Amino acid sequence: MATIFIDNIPYQVQDGQNLLSACLSLGFNIPYFCWHPAMHAVGACRMCAVKQFRDENDTRGSIVMSCMTPATDGTRISIEDDDVREFRAGVIEFLMINHPHDCPVCDEGGECHLQDMTVMSGHVYRRYRFKKRTYLNQNLGPFINHEMNRCIQCYRCVRFYRDYCGGRDFNVFGAHERIYFGRCADGTLENEFSGNLVEVCPTGVFTDKTLRKHYTRKWDLQTAPSVCPHCGLGCNTIVGERYGSVRRILNRYNHEVNGYFLCDRGRFGYEFVNGSNRVLQPIIRDSSNNSKNSNQPVQETEVLEHLAKIWRSSKGIIGLGSPRATLEANFSLRSLVGPENFYLGMSEPESKMISRIIQVLRSGPVHSPSLREVELCDAVLILGEDVTNSAPRLALSLRQSVRQKSMEIADRLKIPRWADAAVRQAVQSKKGPLFILSPFATKLDDIATETLRIDPNDIARFGFQVAHEINHEAPEVADLQPNLKELAIRIAAALKQASMPLVVSGTGSGTLSVINAAANVAWALSDKGEKAGLFYTVPECNSLGLGLMGGGSLRECFEKVNSDSVDTLVILENDLYRRAPAEMVESILRKCKHTIVIDHLFSKTIQKAEVVFPCGTFAETTGSFVNSEGRVQRLYRAMPETGEILESHNWILEIIKTVKPDATDHLLNIDSICESITREFSIFKPLLELAPSSQFRAIGQKIPRQSHRFSGRTSMSANISVHEPKPPDDSESPLSFSMEGYPGIPPSSLIQRFWAPGWNSGQSVNKFQSEINGPLLGGDPGKRLIEPSTGNKWNYFSDIPEANGHRDKEWLALPKFHIFGSEELSRFGASISERAPKPYVGISSQDADLLDKKEGEKVSLVIDNVLLNLPAHIINSLPRGVIALPVGISNLDGIELPAWARIVENSNG
Amino acid sequence: MLSDEIKSEIQCGLNSCPTDRCAILEALQTVQRSHGWISDEQLREVAEFLNLTVEEVDGVATFYNRIYRRPVGRHIILVCDSVSCWIMGFENILDYIRKRLGIDFGETTHDGRFTLLPIQCLGACEQAPAIMIDGQLYGYLDRDKIEAILRSYE
Amino acid sequence: MERPLTKHITIGGGPLNLSEYEKVGGYEACRKSLRTLTPDNILQLVKDSNLRGRGGAGFPTGLKWCSMPSLQNSPRPRYLIADADEMEPGAFKDRILMEGNPHQLIEGLIISAYSVDTEIGYIFIRSEYTLAAKRIKKAIEEAYEKGYLGFNILGSGFNFELRLHVSSGRYICGEGTALANSIEGNRAVPRHKVPRQTESGLWGMPTLLNNVETLCNIPHIINNGAVWFKNLSKCKDGGTKIFGVSGKVKKPGAWELPMGTTIREILEEHAGGMLDGLKFRGTLPGGASTDFLVEQHLDVPMDYDSVQKAGSRFGTGTMIVLDDHTCPVGMVHNLESFFARESCGWCTPCREGLPWTAKILKAIEEGKGEPGDIEILEFHIRALGPGRTFCALAPGAMEPLRSALKFFREDFDTHIRDKRCPWR
Ligand SMILES: Cc1cc2nc3c(=O)[nH]c(=O)nc-3n(C[C@H](O)[C@H](O)[C@H](O)COP(=O)(O)O)c2cc1C
Ligand code: SF4
Ligand code: FES
C-alpha cells in the first residue's frame, strides 16, 4: 500500500497502479477518454490531467496525466487546482471544436461518455468560430453503425479492435487533424468482438445497428440483469426492453466472467426474441387431423384441461429436459414426471461428454478457471476446440493469456503493466506458448506457437502422449509417429515451465476421448505439483447444470418409448430434430400418442406436437444457468408477462397444479423450487445464496427495472386506456417493473443498469466496483458449484483410442462450429443470420482435386443413411480424408458427428 | 499487377527487416518509383505480398505525405511553404506557378504533366525561396528562374 | 579558428570520396578507436568533451550513451540511429554535412557503435534530401568495400551493419521515438518516454539515437581529445557549431563557429547584416520551434544556457530572421500552419489546438480578427505547453507564438483594431 495525497488529504491506495485508477477507485471523478480499465493507458487524450507536486513545499507543481503516472508512496496531486481545471476544460473544448453537437439525433445521447465528461470538466461556452471538419461514413455490416463526425480521436476503437482482439480489418488512417477510424472501404467488420466498439467508443461513432432499428434511449429501457443464452460461458448481460420487445443487449460487468466485453453473438443474438416465429399462444392440435390448419390457439384453462385429460389416459409419461432451459424449469419438469422419467434432452454423445466433464471436474484435482483466471495463464494447450466459434468470449481471454509470459520483458524493464503502449512496444510480437490441435485452422492460429491439424482421435492420442511426457505415470501412446512424439515433448516442456498452465478442450470435437486426454494432461501437470487449469467448453448455456441434475440420454429416452411403456412425451425447450437424426425423431414422435412441448420458437418438433405451451425466452425468464466453469448464475426477466407467455417453470407449476392437485412436494415459485433443488442435490446448495430471494427489499423497496428518468408511462398504453395501469407484478424477484424503488446501488446480482450521478454511460461501472478492474461491490454475482477434490483418488484415463486411419472411399465427417449460425436461437435473428454461412461441405484441397470438385460445386454424400447434397467449400487446412460440416446450419441438424461419410459420385455432374 | 522486378526489390528490402511491417514504406516507395502513386489495387497487392491487410498498409500509407494515394502527374513540384521561404516571398513563386499551370496545391494539370504540392521546409533556407521538382532542388528563385525551370520540364 | 566539421566541405561542391577523405585523415579516428581504445575509453572522452546533442534538445551526449544498458544480459541486437530527418523550418545544417562529407558521419557512427556496442545502424534521412542520400549511399558502399563497415571491421572483431532509411515524409519523424515507429513500419506517432529508448527502442531493443551533427563531432574528439574539443568553444559546452541564418539578410548561409559566438556576430559578420533598407526586428535563434529574441538579445552568446536564460532555446542553432517589412502575425501564422499540418494527430491539444491557432492567426492576418482572439491564443499557449501534450512538437510550436505576443503584441492589436494587415 502507498499513501498518496489528493488535494492535501492522505489516502491509502494500492502501490504501483496509475493515479487515474487509484483516484477512481477512491471515488474521485477524473474525466478520461483514451484510458480504459481493461486496455489501460496510452496518454493520448490528455483529459485525465492532474497537478503533481514534488513535495509539500512545492506550490507550483506540474501538470501530468494521471493515467500515465504511477501512484507511489508520497505522491502529491491536486485534482481541483485551477490551472489543471482550466486545462481539462480546454481539452474538452478542443474535442468539441469539431464534434457535430448532434446529441438529439445521436443514438449515444443520454449514455454518452463525452456528454458526461463535458459536464464534468466544466466546459460551457463555445469559442471556436470556424468550420467543422466532416467525414464520410462506412457501412460496417449488420452490427455496427458508423458516424465518424462524432469522433474525438481517443484511439480506443483501434486499440480495442487490433491490440486487444487481434482484428486486422480495421485501422486508423490519416494524420494531423484528419484522422479516420474505419476500414479501407465499406465492408463488414470481421472480428467476432466488434460489438464491443459500441461500449468502447466514448461517443456515438460506433453504435448498435440492431438497436437503431427500434431505437430507445437508455433511460426509457426497462432493464434487468441477465445471462447470455448463446453458449456455455454464461457472460453476464443487461437486457433492455420497451413496448414488449427486446431492444438491445449490453455487457454486464462481472470481474470473474466476461469483464467488460461480450462476443457479437451474445450482443446481437437477441433478435430472435422479437422474431415472427415466436409461439405466442397455447396450441392444441387435433391429433386425428395432422393438417396444418389444425393449429388451434386456445386459452390457458382450456389447454390445461386438455392436459389433464391426457394425463388421466396416459399409460406412461416421460419428461425431456433441456440444456438451454433454466435449472428451475428442468427441475420442475423432473418433479412433474418423477426423477425416473426425466431425461436430459441431450444426444447420446453429448450427454456422455457432459457427464464425463462433470466427473473430471468433480473428482479430479484440477481447477476449472474463470475467464479472468484464463487471462492469467501463461501457457495454453487447446485440444480439439475451435474456441472462437464454440465459446467465443473464451477466445478473447486466450488472446490476453498469450501476453502473460511476454509481460516478463516489460517487468524486467520496470514498465508498469498499465503503460499499454510502452509494454507493447517492449514486447513487440513475442507471445507465450499456445498450442492448438484441431482438424482445421482456427481464429486463434495467428497467436499460436504451433498448430497441428489432425482428426479428433489423433488429437486425443496426441493429448494422451503429452500427459505421458509430463508425467510417466500417465499412459503412453505406443505407436505415435516420431515427429508427433517430439512435438508432445516440446509441448509438455512448455506446459511444465509455466507457472499457470492451462488445458482447453470441450465438446466441440464430439469426441469423448479428447475430453479424457485433456483431463490426463491437466492431471499430469497437477500431479507434478503445477497449478494447472482445465477449461472445458460446453455447448449450451445450461449444459452443465442439466448434467449435474442428471438423467438419461435421448437415446435412452427413445428406447423407453420404443419399449411401449410410455405414450406421452413432455418436451421442455428442445427441438429434437437438432439432437437426433430426423428419421429417428419422427418414428418416436409417431409412436407417442401425446407430445407436449413447452418452447418459444416454432421448431420442427413443435410442428409435430399435440399441445404447445408458449414459454418465455431468456429475456422473459427468471432462473439460473450453470456455465462451463461450474458457476451458477441468476438471470432475471426484463420483460413483464405479456399475453399468454409464461416462464417454462411457471407453465410446469400450472401443469402440476392441474394434474397433481394434491402433490406433496409443493413447488410454488422460484424460491420454493430452488429450495427443493438444494434439498435434493447438495451440489446446488449455493443456489440459495446466489441472489437475494424474491422477498428481498432494499430499505423496504424493490429494485426498479425502469430508470428514474423513464418517460411515457402515462401515455404508453393510452391507446388502450388513458388511466395509468398498475405496473405488472413480479412476485419472483426483488426487481419491479416500475421506476419507483431503491435508487442506490443494488446487490451485485441485481444490478439492472450501470448508472451513477454524473455517469450516464456504461463507464459508470467504476462506481460499482470495489476497485477499478476488480470485483463488483459486495462480490461478483454467481457461485461456483464445483471445486477440485483434494483428497479423492482419481485415475488417469487409459482408454487410448485407435487412430482413425484412412478408409477407402470414406471420409471422416467432423463438426465445424460457426459463431454465427451454429447456435440454435441466435441464428433466427436477422443480423446474425446475415452473417451465417450457407450449408456446405468442407473438403481439403487434395480431396477436392481427387474428386475433381471446385469451390461451390455440389457434392453428394451419405452419412448414417442420410443423403446430403451440398456445395463444396475448400478448406486448405483440413487434413486429407476429413470433411467438415457446419453445425446447426439448416438442413444439417441432427446429424451426429464425427461420423464416416461416403461420397457418392454425382451423376448429373 | 506488381511486376516481378518490383516484387524482387520489395523482397530484397524485406530480407533486411525483422518484421513484415517494417517493409511497408520501402515497398510503397518502390511501387511509387515506377508508377508515380499507389492505387487501391497496388495497395492490395503490396499488402498481400507482405502478409498484411489493406488496412494495415493503408493506415501507414495515409500517414505520410510523400506516399501518394491519388494519381499524380509526371513531374511533381514541391513548393516549400515554410517560414524562411515565406519570408522570402514564396507566395509570389507559388502564384506564378498556379497561374502558369492553372492548378492549385493538390492538383494535377490536365495534360498530366505536373502535380503541385506543398512541402515542409526543404532544408534549403539559405536559398529561399526554394522548390523541388522530381527530387531536384531549385533555390534562390524568382519569376524568371521559375519560368525557365518549368519550361525545361515541358 | 578551427572548423573541424566543415574544413573539407565547400558549399555547393562535391563530396569527399573515400580516398579523399582518408587523405585528409579520415577514418584515422576509427582505426584508433577500434585498435587502441576500449568502448569505455571512448565513452569517457565523449563525456569529458561536454558535447551536447545538436538535434534540438541539447542533451549531453555522453550521458545519453551511458544510459544504454550494460552489456551483460542486454537483449540483442542493439541499434544506433543517426537522425537525419531535418525538417525543422530554418534548419539546413545536417544537409550540408551529409552532402559535403558523408564519410565523416559514417565514421562517427562506426565509432559510436563501437563504444555503445550496437551491431546495426540506421541513417534516417528525409526523402527530400535526394542528393545527400545519393552521396551517403555511395559512401556506405565504399566503406563496406574498404572494410570499415560489415563483419570484423579492421580485424577488430567488431561488426557493424549500416543501413540508409529514406523516409516518406512528416516532420514528426525527426522526433526520436516517432522515428523508431517509422522505421518499424508504423505510423510515426511518438512513444512514451518511459522507459527510455536506450532501454526499449527499435523493436523493443536498446537503441541510441543522435543527430547527424552530433555524430560528426565524434571522430574529431577521438583524434584530438576532449580538452581540445572543449577549447574550440567560447563557453562550457564543447566544440563548434554550424550556425545558419535565413531570412532577409545579405548573405544567408551557414558557418561553423565556436559554441558561444554571439547572435550579433553571426548576424552581422557572417550573414552580412540585414538587407539594405530593412531593420532587424527579431529572430528565432534555434529554428522554428524556439522563442523570438529581439534587439536587446543581440549580444547573447549562442550556447544552450545563455539562450535559455535570454528566454529562448538553442534548438538547432539555425536562426530565422524577422525584418521590419515582414508581418510578425503572418510569420507566426505560417509557423503554426506548419506545426498544425505536421502534428501526428495522437494527442488532443496538439491535434485540435494547432489548427485552431492557425485559423485564428489567419483570421487576424486577413483582418477578420475579433476581440478575445488574443485570449484564445494565450489559452493555447498554456494548454499546449510542456507536459500537457504527448511530445515536444506542440510545446515547441507555442514558443514562437508566445514570444511574438510578448514582443510584437502591438502588431496583433493593430491587425485586430484596423481589421487589416498593415503590410498588405
Ligand atoms: C517534433 C520534433 C522533431 C524533431 N526533429 C528532429 C530532426 O529532424 N533531427 C534531429 O536530429 N532531431 C530532431 N528532433 C530531436 C530529437 O527528438 C532528438 O532529441 C535528437 O535527435 C537527439 O539527438 P542529439 O542528442 O544528438 O541531439 C526533433 C524533436 C521533435 C520534438
Ligand atoms: S504533441 Fe501530440 S499530436 Fe502533436 S505531434 Fe506530439 S504526440 Fe503528436
Ligand atoms: S485518459 Fe489519460 S491521457 Fe487519455
Q: Which ligand is nearest to the CA of C59?
A: 1
- How many Å apart are CA A689 and CA A633, to the nearest integer? 11
Q: Are residues B96 and B119 in the same domain?
A: yes
Instruction: Classify C240-323 by CATH class.
Output: alpha beta
Q: Output the pLDDT for position A295.
A: 64
Domain A2-95 = CATH 3.30.565.10: no
- How many Å apart are CA A699 and CA A380, to the nearest integer? 47
Best C6, C86, C128 member to test B by mutation, with max B CBs in 10 Å, is C128
Q: Is B70 a domain residue?
A: no
Band (pLDDT 50/70/90 cuts) for residue A270 is very high
Is pLDDT above 90 for A900?
yes
What is the least distance, in Å, from the CA of B147 to any CA of chain C?
22
Among A217-231, A527-541, A641-655, A656-670, the range scoring the smallest mean pLDDT is A656-670
More confident residue, C194 or A172: A172
A163 touches chain B (CB under 8 A): no
Across residues B117-136, what is the average pLDDT?
96
Q: Output the pLDDT for position A291.
A: 45
Number of structural domains (chain B) is: 2
Q: Are residues B137 and B81 in the same domain?
A: yes
Across residues A819-847, what is the average pLDDT?
96
What's the predicted TM-score (pTM) here?
0.97
- For chain C, the residues whose C-beta falls within 8 A of a C-beta of chain A are 170, 187, 191-192, 194-195, 199-200, 203-204, 340-349, 351-356, 359, 363, 370, 372, 376, 379, 382-383, 387-390
CATH 3.40.50.11540 segments of chain C: 18-231
Instruction: Give the DSSP H or E segment for A904.
Output: strand A899-904
* Homologous superfamily (CATH) for C18-231: NADH-ubiquinone oxidoreductase 51kDa subunit (3.40.50.11540)
- How many Å apart are CA A321 and CA B98, to the nearest integer? 80
The residue type found at A96 is: M
Phi/psi at A863 (5° precision): -125, 130
Do the Cβ atoms of A421 and A535 come closer than 8 Å? no
B64-112 confidence digits (pLDDT tens): 999 999 999 999 999 999 999 999 999 999 999 999 999 999 999 999 9
Q: Output the pLDDT for position A285.
A: 87
Q: Range of B26's domain?
A: 4-61
From chain B, the residues in CB contact with A175 under 8 A are 62-65
Percentage of chain A exceeding pLDDT 90: 90
Q: Are residues B56 and B90 in the same domain?
A: no
A168 with B40: Cβ contact below 8 A:
no
Band (pLDDT 50/70/90 cuts) for residue A906 is low
Is pLDDT above 90 for A723?
no
Band (pLDDT 50/70/90 cuts) for residue A432 is very high
Q: What nine digits make up the cell of A302?
A: 382450456
Phi/psi at A300 (5° precision): -60, -45
User: Cα separations (Å) of A284 from A292, A303, A315, A555, A575?
Assistant: 12, 7, 20, 27, 18
Q: Are residues B79 and B11 in the same domain?
A: no
Band (pLDDT 50/70/90 cuts) for residue A294 is low
CATH 3.10.20.600 segments of chain C: 240-323
Name the architecture of domain A810-904. Answer: Beta Barrel (2.40)
Q: Is B106 a domain residue?
A: yes
Residue A436: strand pairing partners: A382, A451
Band (pLDDT 50/70/90 cuts) for residue A909 is very low
Mean pLDDT of chain C: 97
B55 touches chain A (CB under 8 A): yes
The fold for domain A367-531 equals Dimethylsulfoxide Reductase; domain 2 (3.40.228)
Q: Output the pLDDT for position C11.
A: 82
User: Which residues neighbour A230 within 8 Å (Cβ) at sequence distance 6 or greater?
Assistant: A265, A266, A269, A541, A823, A825, A826
A247-269 confidence digits (pLDDT tens): 999 999 999 999 999 999 999 99
Q: Helix (H, G, I), strand (E, B), or coil: what is residue A246? A: strand
SS3 of A787-847: the string is CCCCCCCCCCCCCCCCCCCCECCEEEEEEECCCCCCCCCHHHCHHHHHHCCCCCEEECHHH
Across residues A352-361, what is the average pLDDT?
97
A879-894 confidence digits (pLDDT tens): 999 999 999 986 778 8
A377-398 confidence digits (pLDDT tens): 999 999 999 999 999 999 999 9
DSSP E strands, B83-130 = 114-119
Q: Output the pLDDT for position A893.
A: 82
The fold for domain C328-418 equals de novo design (two linked rop proteins) (1.20.1440)
Give the CATH number, domain containing residue B139: 3.40.30.10
- Which residue is it, cell 461419410? A901
Query: Which C residues in the span 72-91 are in contact with B, Cβ-Cβ below 8 Å?
Result: 86-91
CATH 3.10.20.740 segments of chain A: 2-95
Q: Chains touching chain C at 3 or more Cβ pairs under 8 angstroms? A: A, B
Across residues C378-393, what is the average pLDDT?
97
Q: How far is CA B82 from the centre of its chain?
A: 17
A584 touches chain C (CB under 8 A): no
Across residues A652-659, what is the average pLDDT?
94
Q: What nine digits make up the cell of A48?
A: 485525465
- Which residue is it, cell 494547432? C354
Do the Cβ atoms of C130 and B135 come closer than 8 Å? yes
Q: Are residues B89 and B146 in the same domain?
A: yes
User: DSSP character for A665?
Assistant: S
From chain A, the residues in CB contact with B53 under 8 A are 168-169
Percentage of chain B exceeding pLDDT 70: 100
B64 with C331: Cβ contact below 8 A:
no
Cis peptide before A37 (omega within 30 of 0): no
Q: What nine digits make up the cell of C352?
A: 485540435
Strand order in the sheet with A611-614: A295-297, A283-285, A611-614, A594-599, A568-572, A317-320, A342-343
Q: DSSP readout, A297-339?
A: E--HHHHHHHHHHHHHH-S-EEEE--TTS-HHHHHHHHHHH-G
Alpha helices in A105-176 (DSSP H): 113-121, 156-158
Q: Helix (H, G, I), strand (E, B), or coil: what is residue A431? A: coil
Band (pLDDT 50/70/90 cuts) for residue A908 is very low
Band (pLDDT 50/70/90 cuts) for residue A664 is low
Residues with CB under 6 A from ligand 3: A 32-35, 41, 43-48, 65, 67
Give the CATH number, domain containing residue B40: 1.10.10
Q: Are residues B48 and B82 in the same domain?
A: no
Q: Are residues B56 and B89 in the same domain?
A: no
Ligand 1 centroid–CA C87 distance in Å is 10
Q: Are residues B36 and B87 in the same domain?
A: no
Q: Is B68 a domain residue?
A: no
A626-641 confidence digits (pLDDT tens): 999 999 999 999 999 9
A171 with B56: Cβ contact below 8 A:
yes
What Rg value do the Cα atoms of chain A yield, rounded? 28
Is pLDDT above 50 for A578?
yes
C128-158 confidence digits (pLDDT tens): 999 999 999 999 999 999 999 999 999 999 9
Q: Output the pLDDT for position A427.
A: 95
Is pLDDT above 50 for C334?
yes
Q: C231-258: buried (b, 16+ CB within 10 Å) or exposed (e) per residue?
A: ebbbbebbbbbbbbbbbbbeebbbbbbb
Is pLDDT above 70 for B26?
yes
A419 with C356: Cβ contact below 8 A:
no
- How many Å apart are CA C15 and CA C102, to the nearest integer? 7
Best B42, B55, B60, B65 member to test A by mutation, with max A CBs in 10 Å, is B55
Ligand 2 centroid–CA C340 distance in Å is 10
